Amino acid sequence: MREHLTTVAPAKPALSDAAGGVEGPVLSDTAGGVEGARAQADSPPRRRLRPPAPPHRRLAPALAASLLLALSACAATSATAPATYTNPIIHADYSDPDVIRVGEDYFMIASSFHFSPGIPVLRSRDLVHWTIIGHVLPRLPFAPEYDMVPPFTLTDATQRPVGPGLRYAAGVWAPAIRHHNGRFHVYWATPTEGIFMSSAERAEGPWTAPVTLVAEAGLEDPAPFWDEDGSAWLIHSRVGAGPLILRRMSPDGTRVLDEGRVVAEDPVNLPILEGPKLHRRDGYYYIFAPIGGVETGPQAVGRARDIQGPYEWRVVLEQGSTPVQAPHQGGYVETPSGQGWFVHFNSTGAFGRITYLQPVRWQDGWPVMGDPIPGRVSGQPVMTHPMPDTGYPPDPSARIQDSDEFDAATLGHQWEWNHNPVAAGWSLTERPGWLRLRALPAEHLVTARNTLTQILQGPRMRATARIDASRMADGQRAGITMLQTRPSWLGLVREQGATRIAFAVEGAETLGPVIPAGAIRLDSARLGAAASRRPAMVDLRVEVTPDQQAHFSYSLDGGRNFTGMGGPVALRFSWWKGARPALFTFHKSADYAAPPSGWIDVDWWRVETADELP
């Protein structure tokens, strides 16, 4: 999501904090979550450290002066030209997004499935550039399987079934966010447990413990709606995508009051109907819902004069002549100036379901999204479009966090564990400035606890980690991986007192050279408690290319030279998520009750994305 702007528009006067300020026909505040009270500001993202720029990327003084003159010459033109953005706005797997405006801020959440903490919360001022500000769920408390409880049948060489003891592909599905009575409310389903909600005064949290609304498996995609008369409703679907069910809720949104009624079911014209969001506008109730499935489905909208129907339906966004083959499922929001916008995903294989932004105009009581398609009532995705009129200039400094020097007391918001972590298995304080990962017993990477992941950012990304391997124990594996079904990894294997570089695909390991003790020598002040033992340091790297291939390499000389190992590895969409770069360690053992054995210390994790790579 780095460089969306082609020109920069001048700043506009800030809007009044006290005004909701939506002119003309607008959504009900209670329906769309638009309120005048401005959400409190979060602290700015942590400083992102980078290695020095290579010589070919540094500007000579004369060249810099020439560029400055050129920029000055076109200033008058750029000051009047509208700033634009380019889709996708986030080339990363924020699937099933929902979005609201509260005052001058926009908040977005997305599905997180089996990753913990769950339900990332993002904030923006311009609807294009986003920053992670927290998570709704510190842990996934819904069932023991979210803690990875053996025995397991899944291996690194198998894809399905997931089998016992795990919750891959379960967890949080398609959450919805609204702001009502001064509080943020988030609703979600876990397909194996039921429908839940949590609330908070601030989007950053703290959030209340999950409240169970419906303790029933097989439900999905709930969304709340508070009507103008104070009544509260919940709409959701069933696993398998349909029908849509509408239930009454208590006014505070913490209980459902009935079994609900079906308000939409039409397998022929509305196949795979899911992800509903309710809105009210100009006397109509609208259900925004995708149809047709993740890979190729369009976006549909139903409308009715009564919330309980009957609803008439039409497709409002489809592929058209664009390469965006499945533009659907997301959230609708309006700016203070009355502009309508739809944030949605599109499925892209190993990069997951990445995020797009479409303008919305209203015609004859129906939304038309994107660019209108001649002769049809639907639109198609825009590739480039003027920036939303939010009252704020574009802010490219707002970005998805990724790199981490591990010098803070807590992990950055970009990190999510594979299932719930074991607290005793990791630390940021035992060796300040380093992330310590202890090796817990596991037979396979996919059953190893405390694998630390973050979202893959496309269309090209390189992640490098520096690891101190001096405290590894026999039987331990550690390294960097692209987490997916049948995963691949590059890392370290310690056996018979020797630590070797190793490359693995689908559980098959290939051993490389032995790492000499003290491969990189660091001074004792930097090492702290580890100064008595010279470290075996190694830099591990994975680069993902636009063709969705992973290329692994390592360095034993402080990152000056990297050696590739293993051929390119095909990445894949797995467990409803894109592939993820991750750090891991485990002690290869079938005795899952055994204590930790050995550890690694990670000095830093540095990410370069497409606009930063040569």
Distance in angstroms (rounded) separating the CA atoms of residues 267 and 274: 12
Contacts of residue 77, Cβ cutoff 8 Å, sequence gap at least 6: none
Q: Which stretches within 331-396 are classed as H helix?
A: none
* Cα 152 off chain centre by: 27
Q: How far lies 4's CA from each of 389, 535, 545, in Å?
A: 15, 43, 20
H/E stretch holding 73 reads helix 61-73
What is the per-residue DSSP string for 595-609? PP--EEEEEEEEEEE
Place of tokens 């994790």: 605
SS3 466: strand
Place of tokens 């996919």: 446
Q: Is 31 exposed, middle or buried (0-12, 13-18, 19+ CB in 10 A)?
A: buried
DSSP 8-class letter at 542? E
Catalytic site residue from 274, 318, 404, 443: 274
Distance in angstroms (rounded) separating the CA atoms of residues 419 and 421: 6
SS3 317: strand
Q: Is 498 exposed, middle or buried (0-12, 13-18, 19+ CB in 10 A)?
A: exposed
Task: Show the tokens assigned to 141.
Answer: 């408390």
Which of 605, 542, 581, 129 lies closest to 403 in space, CA to CA?
605
Segments of 239-322 assigned E as strands: 244-249, 261-264, 277-281, 284-290, 299-304, 312-317
Catalytic site residue from 35, 96, 543, 603: 96
Which of 131, 127, 103 lies closest to 5 in space, CA to CA?
127
State yes or no: is 274 an active-site residue: yes
State yes or no: is 96 an active-site residue: yes
DSSP 8-class letter at 29? H
Task: Show the tokens assigned to 10.
Answer: 């001048």
Distance in angstroms (rounded) separating the CA atoms of residues 372 and 248: 36
Distance in angstroms (rounded) separating the CA atoms of residues 348 and 304: 34
To 10 degrees, the CA torsion angle through 116, 117, 121, 122? -70
Distance in angstroms (rounded) separating the CA atoms of residues 273 and 80: 44
Distance in angstroms (rounded) separating the CA atoms of residues 335 and 389: 7
Task: Show the tokens assigned to 130.
Answer: 């986003």
Q: Which residues does the annotation mark as catalytic? A: 96, 274
